[in-house]
Amino acid sequence: MQLQYTDQQNEFRQTVRDWLEAHVPQKTLPSLDTEQGFELHRDWERTLKSGDWGMVTWPKEYGGRACDLIEWLIFEEEYYRAGAPLRVSQNGIFLLGPTLMEFGSDEQKQRFLPPMAAGDEIWAQAWSEPNAGSDMAAIRSKAERISEHGKDYYLLNGQKTWSSRAVFADWAFGIFRTDPDSSRHKGLSFVLFPLDTPGITIRPILQLDGDPGFAEIFFDDVKVSVDNLLGEEGQGWQIAMATAGFERGLMLRSPARFQRTAQRLIGLYERYKDSLSSGVREKITQAYMDAEAYCMNTYYTASRLMAGGKIGAEASCNKIFWSELDRSMHRTAMSIIGAQAELVETVPEAVDEGIWLDGYMFSLAGPIYAGSNEIQRNIISERVLGLPRP
């Protein structure tokens, strides 16, 4: 067990740090769930690309740096240390990207990965439906294969929902029923489609903060080339589960994010400590410890993966741990701020430009998205502990 960075890793850290110090915007960008904020975050993705920092773990040919997981963790630590903007391309780079890498054809990888890493094409996810939430196998949206003038297409019909930033995004990936006689997990296929295709209607849904961060997508005879099928027809569920694994696993929420919040929470406490009850100190200590524990677990898992291991149902443990940690830290922060907790970010008196309220609202989504924590606990108990399905 070697818990020291190599010289090469230290140099890498310094390179990242220097670049970020020179490029991270001085002023916090507006929310990525607004039209203006979205485009400013896209600009930031292009700036990252200009330094080849778009997605450091990807192969060089797709716009990456071929970094290993430890370098990725170092990059993330520096990223959050520098207070750099949230990744507007996260659905693409963290979820679809690894999925394409595993299931995509060479043409698909060449076509989609470089613009994804560059922020030129930003992706939304189109999985859930009004009646297929936690029970995703209940999907009803259809993709019917048709031929026109010697070319093959899918005709998409149905409705998707909870599609983050689909109002502003360029492309989306979804699962559709290609076999009309199928049910549940069978007969589903994973299809990629441009969001400006005729027949698509996008209706924004206002989130807790009032911004149109979600959307519903309606499909009315939407024609998509069969080249946009990922993997095989009928393989949709299997691919989607792999994507969900990436979502819950290491990549989506790196420990640095929570260590940064814990650090800020300690700073917040120092400013307010004279007005607080003694129990707060323990809550903050626990938050610090849990952020550290998440970090330890990630380094431990990363080292295991680098030695050829696979990530399985433990991805579900990760998702539960970080989402409940994030909510707990922000709940503590809200309690510390007291009467100022309700102030929105535009109010000058809002503490730390409203990050705690914003973060608290977002943290409430954590135990819901990427598969609710109840579903994760089912997965752990059934696939790790071997308890029977109902």
Q: Which of 102, 247, 270, 353 is catalytic?
A: 247
Taking the complex as a whole, how short is the minimal distance between the CB of residue 80 and another protein, in angstroms? 5
Residue with Cβ nearer another protein (47 or 378): 378
Phi-psi region of 354 (alpha: psi -120 to 50; beta: other; left: phi over 0): left
User: Active site includes 324?
Assistant: no
Taking the complex as a whole, how short is the minimal distance between the CB of residue 220 and another protein, in angstroms? 38
Residue with Cβ nearer another protein (161 or 254): 254
In three-state secondary structure terms, 191 is: strand
Selected binder of another protein within 77, 121, 129, 326 (CB under 8 A): 77
Smallest CA-to-CA distance from 375 within 91, 197, 128, 168 is with: 128
**Residue 206 burial (CB count, 10 A):** 11
Stretch that binds another protein, among 33-41, 102-110, 156-164, 278-286 (CB under 8 A): 278-286
Please report, in angstroms and rounded to a whole number, the separation of the first and last CA atoms in the chain. 42
| 230 Cβ neighbours under 8 A, 6+ residues apart | 99, 100, 103, 104, 108, 173, 190, 191, 192, 239
Residue with Cβ nearer another protein (207 or 381): 381
Taking the complex as a whole, how short is the minimal distance between the CB of residue 74 and another protein, in angstroms? 8
Q: Quote the tokens at residue 336.
A: 């510390």
Selected binder of another protein within 85, 255, 367, 371 (CB under 8 A): 255
Cα diameter, the chain: 76
The reply to whether 326 sits near another protein by the rule CB under 8 A is: no
The reply to whether 281 sits near another protein by the rule CB under 8 A is: yes
Question: What phi and psi values does residue 129 have, to the nearest 5 degrees?
Answer: -130, 165
Contact 255, 295 (CB under 8 A): yes
The reply to whether 80 sits near another protein by the rule CB under 8 A is: yes
The reply to whether 376 sits near another protein by the rule CB under 8 A is: yes
Smallest CA-to-CA distance from 331 within 376, 276, 369, 287 is with: 287
Selected binder of another protein within 33, 45, 76, 211 (CB under 8 A): 76
Residue with Cβ nearer another protein (74 or 169): 74
∠ CA 203-208-213, rounded to 5°: 40
Q: Which residue has the tokens 């607080």?
A: 276
Selected binder of another protein within 29, 48, 139, 262 (CB under 8 A): 262
Smallest CA-to-CA distance from 3 within 73, 51, 57 is with: 73
Count of residues interacting with another protein (CB under 8 A): 63
The reply to whether 297 sits near another protein by the rule CB under 8 A is: yes
The reply to whether 363 sits near another protein by the rule CB under 8 A is: no
Selected binder of another protein within 122, 155, 167, 320 (CB under 8 A): 320
Burial of 125 (0-12, 13-18, 19+ CB in 10 A): buried
Stretch that binds another protein, among 23-31, 121-129, 235-243, 297-305 (CB under 8 A): 297-305
The reply to whether 359 sits near another protein by the rule CB under 8 A is: no
The reply to whether 72 sits near another protein by the rule CB under 8 A is: no
Distance CA(384)–CA(363), nearest Å, equals 26
Distance CA(169)–CA(323), nearest Å, equals 25
The reply to whether 308 sits near another protein by the rule CB under 8 A is: no
The reply to whether 11 sits near another protein by the rule CB under 8 A is: no
Stretch that binds another protein, among 100-108, 312-320, 337-345, 351-359 (CB under 8 A): 312-320
Contact 194, 187 (CB under 8 A): no
Contact 234, 188 (CB under 8 A): yes
Taking the complex as a whole, how short is the minimal distance between the CB of residue 156 and another protein, in angstroms? 35
Burial of 86 (0-12, 13-18, 19+ CB in 10 A): middle
By CB under 8 A, what part of segment 13-32 binds another protein?
13
The reply to whether 5 sits near another protein by the rule CB under 8 A is: yes
Using CB under 8 A, list all residues that contact another protein.
1-6, 9-10, 13, 70, 74, 76-78, 80-81, 255-257, 259-260, 262-263, 266, 269-270, 281-282, 284-285, 288-290, 292-297, 299-300, 302-304, 307, 314, 317, 320-321, 374, 376-378, 380-382, 384-390
Q: Which residues are catalytic?
A: 247
